[in-house]
């Protein structure tokens, strides 16, 4: 019996990694929408005729500050367990790591690692990231609390969870633990193996942007190329139409008056467009809309694919009442906002800042404040369009993105740049030196340029899937999956087979 929509299911994959102004909010909600669609549709969770029940949420008491033994404060971290395929206590454990959003029971029931578990009799555990979903400390999200939110804290949670859950479920000392994750959680999976190889036997890191970067102009380079990619429905004409649509938006913004008022109504800008900062919010949201069509191209539940977006932008070029590209962009806005159940595409800058300053978890959205904090203190990832050849508006520029960190948290631009540099020094960027990690990416995903797409050595493997979007390898299988995606999943299976064969030999010799 299939179950209907399940609104309590959180996203499994990365929602979006952009810093949390209006563009980021749109991409985060796109990712959330896609994941919920996949989990509540025929592709998602179901109760079969045998009456397999959904796993219940469980809670693990974790230290708030794992690096200070004298600090006795703790928080409850949410997790799920699927033991229906676990055949013996010395079988492998597949640990699915959560990222910058809520996790749900789907993390242990659908997609990999869940689909891989029956083959090896694996225990599957899904661990929600601290400060996201319901794993938020009781004291809230003020800056004093957010000091305990970082990738290093998250990795410490992985270590303590691995030790605590081994005891709780009586997992054999010799059982290999393998980490899985997508996007930021994919980076965490790789870093868990890098920093704790004695505890994590191997990792599969999907769409993992392991290189932190302040000015991520390369994101739009990939978007631009993808709009021209005929294999996914793009064309040079489509890219030119996108550029023309943005030029028309900027012309109307400059014109002011009735042209600007009409633009505000047509493109779902809630709030004044009189200030340059407010105009930048709208232009950034429009960039995110186009970027989202590329980032999530071909995924079940995505409102727009590249092919569909290009169809709208090219449109009816015989109709001269309005420029066809602008008309198509307007229609694309309607499609996306309707799919997300949103009235507005963008808000004023002041309203964006006010929303990000809210510290009460119950009204703080899907983690926008928390993720902005992590971009300000660790990663950057600020997408810009200031280089020659970028088809969109040059607004919002990098300074306005860095200013958001100052407005919300009081961080200076120099401190953010230093934090990004320290992150790469600590983890190694795109040469981390981790063994037994498989990096999986799609070549139309804008984030693949920050990941590892070529093998770095015999035990540092990489797959680059042609015409695949963000974390597509982790999604539930579909009949429409491309041959290259099917082959990539076979390669992931074969890599796991190799690793678990090594683990079995180690068990026979007396331990890993």
Q: Is residue 399 part of a domain?
A: yes
Domain-ending residue, one of 422, 455, 481:
422
CA distance 3 to 406: 45
Q: What's the average model confidence in pLDDT over 282-302?
A: 95
Q: Residue 158 half-sphere exposure, CB side, CA atoms within 13 Å?
A: 34
| Three-state DSSP state, 67 | coil
Q: Is the dihedral of CA 231, 236, 241, 244 positive or negative?
A: positive
* pLDDT tens for each residue of 166-209: 999 999 999 999 999 999 999 999 999 999 999 999 999 999 99
Q: In this structure, are 240 and 170 located in the same domain?
A: no
CA angle, residues 279, 285, 286, in degrees to nearest 5: 90
Contacts of 114 (CB under 8 A, 6+ apart): 82, 94, 96, 107, 108, 124
CA distance 120 to 484: 24
Is the predicted pLDDT of residue 20 greater than 70, yes or no? no
Q: Is residue 415 part of a domain?
A: yes
CA 108 to mean position of chain CA atoms: 18
The predicted pLDDT at position 346 comes to 87
Q: In this structure, are 96 and 68 located in the same domain?
A: yes
The predicted pLDDT at position 28 comes to 82
* pLDDT tens for each residue of 442-462: 999 999 999 999 999 888 899
Q: In this structure, are 342 and 418 located in the same domain?
A: yes
Q: Which residue has the higher pLDDT, 270 or 408?
A: 408
* Residue of 16, 183, 206, 224 marked catalytic: 183
Q: What's the average model confidence in pLDDT over 381-400?
A: 89
**Where are the strands (E) in 131-279, listed by range?**
177-182, 202-206, 213-215, 269-270
Q: In this structure, are 238 and 204 located in the same domain?
A: no
In the structure, what pLDDT confidence band is assigned to residue 14 with cuts at 50, 70 and 90? very low
Q: Nearest Cα to 174, choosing from 194, 198, 203? A: 198
Q: In this structure, are 413 and 450 located in the same domain?
A: no
H or E element at residue 123: strand 123-127
* pLDDT tens for each residue of 109-161: 988 899 999 999 999 999 999 999 999 999 999 999 999 999 999 999 999 99
pTM: 0.92
Domain-ending residue, one of 388, 405, 422:
422
The domain total for the chain is 2
Is the predicted pLDDT of residue 382 greater than 80, yes or no? yes
Q: Is residue 439 part of a domain?
A: yes
The predicted pLDDT at position 322 comes to 56
In the structure, what pLDDT confidence band is assigned to residue 5 with cuts at 50, 70 and 90? very low
Domain-ending residue, one of 370, 387, 422:
422
* Residue of 157, 215, 278, 445 marked catalytic: 445
* Residue of 33, 112, 129, 470 marked catalytic: 470
CA distance 303 to 330: 14
Is the predicted pLDDT of residue 15 greater than 50, yes or no? no
The encoded tokens of residue 268 equal: 């779902």
The predicted pLDDT at position 389 comes to 81
Q: In this structure, are 112 and 152 located in the same domain?
A: yes
Q: Residue 490 half-sphere exposure, CB side, CA atoms within 13 Å?
A: 7
Beta strand pairing call for 380-382 and 58-63: unpaired
Q: Which of 78-82, 200-204, 254-258 has the least mean pLDDT?
A: 254-258
Is the predicted pLDDT of residue 50 greater than 70, yes or no? no
Q: Is residue 48 part of a domain?
A: no
Q: What radius of gyration, in Å, describes the C-alpha atoms of the chain?
A: 23
SS3 sequence of 55-71:
CCCEEEEEECCCCCCCC
| 3 backbone dihedrals φ, ψ, rounded to 5° | -95, 155
Q: In this structure, are 248 and 397 located in the same domain?
A: yes
SS3 sequence of 286-329:
HHHHHHHHHHCCCCCCCCCCHHHHHHHHHCCCCCCCCCHHHHHH
Based on the residue annotation, tell me whether 414 is a catalytic residue of this protein: no
The predicted pLDDT at position 42 comes to 43
Q: What's the average model confidence in pLDDT over 368-392?
A: 93
Q: In this structure, are 355 and 491 located in the same domain?
A: no
CA distance 8 to 79: 14
Based on the residue annotation, tell me whether 183 is a catalytic residue of this protein: yes
Q: Is residue 40 part of a domain?
A: no
Q: Is residue 473 part of a domain?
A: yes
Taking all residues of the chain, what is their mean pLDDT, rounded to a whole number? 89
Q: In this structure, are 385 and 500 located in the same domain?
A: no
Q: In this structure, are 305 and 249 located in the same domain?
A: yes
Based on the residue annotation, tell me whether 142 is a catalytic residue of this protein: no
H or E element at residue 380: strand 380-382
Q: In this structure, are 416 and 459 located in the same domain?
A: no
The predicted pLDDT at position 289 comes to 96
Residue 263's domain spans which residues?
Answer: 214-422
The encoded tokens of residue 298 equal: 């071909």
Q: Which residue has the tokens 């999200």?
A: 141
In the structure, what pLDDT confidence band is assigned to residue 25 with cuts at 50, 70 and 90? confident
Q: Nearest Cα to 92, choosing from 70, 65, 61, 124? A: 124
Q: In this structure, are 437 and 388 located in the same domain?
A: no
5-9, 49-53, 476-480 — which one is most confidently predicted on average?
476-480
Q: Is residue 353 part of a domain?
A: yes
CA distance 326 to 263: 10
Q: Which of 6-10, 121-125, 277-281, 497-501 has the least mean pLDDT?
A: 6-10
Q: Is residue 477 part of a domain?
A: yes
CA distance 240 to 404: 31
> Measuring CA to CA, how many Å separate 191 from each of 143, 162, 195, 392?
25, 15, 6, 34
Q: Which residue has the higher pLDDT, 156 or 367?
A: 156
Query: Which CATH number do you get for residue 472?
Result: 3.40.50.1820
């Amino acid at each position: 019996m299939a179950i209907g929509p399940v609104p309590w299911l959180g996203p499994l994959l990365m929602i979006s990694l952009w810093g949390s102004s209006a563009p980021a909010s749109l991409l985060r909600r796109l990712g959330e929408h896609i994941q919920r669609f996949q989990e509540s549709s025929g592709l998602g969770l179901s109760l079969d005729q045998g009456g397999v029940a959904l796993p219940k949420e469980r809670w693990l008491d974790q230290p708030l500050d794992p690096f200070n033994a004298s600090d006795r404060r703790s928080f409850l971290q949410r997790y799920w367990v699927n033991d229906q395929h676990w055949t013996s206590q010395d079988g492998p454990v597949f640990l699915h790591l959560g990222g910058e959003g809520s996790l749900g029971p789907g993390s242990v029931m659908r997609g990999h690692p869940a689909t891989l578990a029956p083959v090896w009799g694996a225990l599957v555990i899904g661990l929600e990231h601290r400060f996201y979903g319901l794993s938020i400390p009781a004291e809230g999200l003020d800056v004093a609390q957010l000091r305990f939110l970082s990738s290093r804290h998250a990795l410490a949670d992985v270590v303590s969870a691995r030790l605590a859950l081994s005891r709780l479920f009586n997992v054999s000392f010799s059982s290999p633990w393998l980490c899985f994750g997508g996007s930021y959680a994919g980076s965490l999976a790789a870093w868990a193996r890098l920093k704790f190889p004695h505890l994590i036997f191997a990792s599969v890191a999907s769409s993992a942007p392991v290189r932190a970067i302040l000015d991520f102009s390369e994101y739009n380079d990939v978007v631009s190329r993808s709009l021209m990619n005929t294999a996914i429905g793009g064309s040079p004409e489509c890219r030119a139409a996108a550029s023309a649509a943005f030029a028309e938006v900027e012309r109307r913004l400059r014109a002011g008056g009735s042209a600007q008022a009409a633009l505000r109504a047509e493109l779902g800008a809630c709030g004044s467009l009189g200030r340059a900062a407010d105009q930048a919010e709208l232009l950034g949201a429009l960039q995110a809309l186009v970027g989202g069509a590329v980032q999530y191209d071909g995924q079940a539940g995505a409102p727009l694919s590249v092919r569909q977006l290009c169809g709208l932008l090219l449109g009816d070029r015989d109709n001269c009442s309005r420029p066809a590209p602008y008309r198509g962009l307007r229609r694309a806005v309607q499609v996306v906002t309707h799919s997300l159940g949103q009235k507005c595409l963008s808000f004023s800058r002041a309203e964006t800042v006010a929303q990000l300053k809210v510290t009460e978890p119950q009204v703080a959205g899907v983690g926008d404040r928390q993720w902005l904090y992590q971009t300000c203190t660790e990663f950057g990832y600020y997408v810009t369009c200031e280089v020659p050849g970028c088809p969109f508006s040059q607004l919002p520029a990098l300074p306005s993105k860095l200013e958001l960190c100052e407005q919300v948290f009081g961080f200076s631009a120099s401190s953010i740049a230093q934090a990004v540099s320290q992150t790469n020094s600590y983890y190694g960027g795109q040469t981390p030196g981790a063994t037994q990690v498989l990096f999986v990416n799609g070549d139309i995903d804008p984030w693949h340029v920050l990941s590892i797409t070529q093998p770095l050595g015999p035990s540092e493997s990489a797959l680059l899937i042609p015409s695949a979007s963000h974390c597509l390898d982790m999604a539930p299988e579909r009949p429409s999956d491309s041959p290259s995606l099917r082959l990539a999943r076979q390669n992931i299976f074969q890599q796991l087979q190799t690793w678990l064969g090594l683990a079995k030999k180690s068990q026979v010799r007396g331990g890993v």
